[in-house]
């Protein structure tokens, strides 16, 4: 598995969650600017497909919480999604923000020199096609970038489709609590990293992941002293909302 190839992990140790953490509306271009302003070298964001198969950024299945629209993203074309205000819910100064296409995010990340963790976040029932089309788009959009994006997903079906359509892109499998069969699942997808929710994790689990030659990413760590503890255990990357206080 990943031990047999050169280490593809060339990522910074701090990752801004949903582009700019709590400093900007999530999954927007404004967040990328804020990440750079806070000297963060890498951003995580959530990518899914519109009804007409345009990869774009949104965490939830519907647009209600993070825009002025209503409804399930899976039923909306990208032109309908692009018409929505994705910033005012957060603060009036962000009223111009939209749910950006993956293409516009790629362009901005490359311009700003930001590394990317593209979390494939399929709408219900669209795992395979989302994995395939997002991975294919990432491979095309970042083909000349010095560091390829790290793909990740909670959906093993999506990650398997990503592996088939863009096998050279590094992959990480996302878990909440680490399951007992995590290693088999990670190996099946030939992942380079294991991503886990940080609160239930302990030193021994981090060490057993690392002993398999795998990298680790902990989310969402918003306390600076907890981030230091995780780093002392050998965690490679800390994904945080608090890019202003976690360093």
Distance of closest approach, residue 15 Cβ to Mg ion, in angstroms? 10
59 is catalytic: yes
Owner of token pair 């995580």: 44
38 is catalytic: no
Joined together, the tokens standing for residue 188 give: 């099946």
Q: Which residues contact 83 (CB under 8 A, 6 or more apart)?
A: none
CB-based burial label for 154 (10 Å; 0-12, 13-18, 19+): middle
Distance of closest approach, residue 232 Cβ to Mg ion, in angstroms? 25
Among 101, 219, 230, 237, binds ligand G3P (CB under 6 A): 219
Residues 6-65, interacting with ligand G3P (CB under 6 A)? 17, 44, 46, 59
Q: How many residues bind ligand G3P (CB under 6 A)?
A: 10
242 touches ligand G3P (CB under 6 A): no
* Contact mark string toward ligand G3P, 151..170, x via CB under 6 A: -x------------------
For 112, phi then psi, to 5°, come to -85, -5
Q: How far apart are CA 237 and CA 213, in angstroms?
A: 15
Judged by CB under 5 A, which stretch of 32-40, 118-126, 140-148, 182-190 contacts Mg ion? Answer: 118-126
With CB cut-offs between 5 and 8 Å by kind, which of Mg ion, ligand G3P, none does residue 182 bind?
Answer: none
For residues 112, 30, 119, 236, the Cα torsion angle rounded to the nearest 10 degrees is 60
Are 62 and 72 in contact, with CB atoms under 8 Å apart? Answer: yes
The residues binding ligand G3P (CB under 6 A) are 17, 44, 46, 59, 119, 152, 174, 195, 219, 239
Which residues are annotated as catalytic?
Answer: 17, 59
């Amino acid at each position: 598995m990943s031990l047999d190839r050169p280490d593809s992990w060339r990522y910074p140790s701090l990752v801004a969650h949903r582009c700019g953490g709590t400093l900007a509306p999530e999954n927007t271009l404004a967040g990328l600017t804020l990440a750079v302003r806070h000297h963060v070298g890498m951003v995580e964001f959530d990518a899914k497909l519109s009804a007409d198969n345009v990869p774009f950024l949104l965490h939830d299945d519907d647009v209600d919480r993070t825009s002025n629209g209503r409804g399930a993203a899976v039923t909306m074309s990208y032109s309908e999604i692009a018409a929505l205000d994705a910033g005012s819910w957060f603060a009036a100064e962000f009223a111009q923000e939209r749910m950006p296409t993956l293409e516009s995010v790629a362009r901005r990340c490359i311009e700003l020199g930001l590394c990317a963790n593209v979390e494939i976040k399929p709408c219900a029932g669209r795992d395979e096609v989302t994995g395939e089309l997002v991975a294919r788009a990432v491979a095309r959009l970042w083909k000349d970038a010095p560091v390829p994006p790290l793909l990740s997903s909670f959906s093993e079906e999506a990650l398997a489709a990503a592996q088939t359509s863009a096998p050279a892109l590094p992959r990480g499998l996302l878990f909440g609590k680490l399951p007992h069969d995590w290693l088999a699942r990670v190996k099946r997808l030939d992942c380079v990293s294991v991503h886990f929710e940080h609160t239930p994790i302990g030193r021994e689990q981090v060490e057993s992941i690392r002993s398999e030659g795998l990298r680790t990413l902990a989310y969402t760590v918003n306390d600076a002293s907890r981030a230091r503890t995780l780093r002392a255990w050998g965690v490679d990357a800390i994904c945080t909302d608090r890019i202003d206080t976690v360093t």
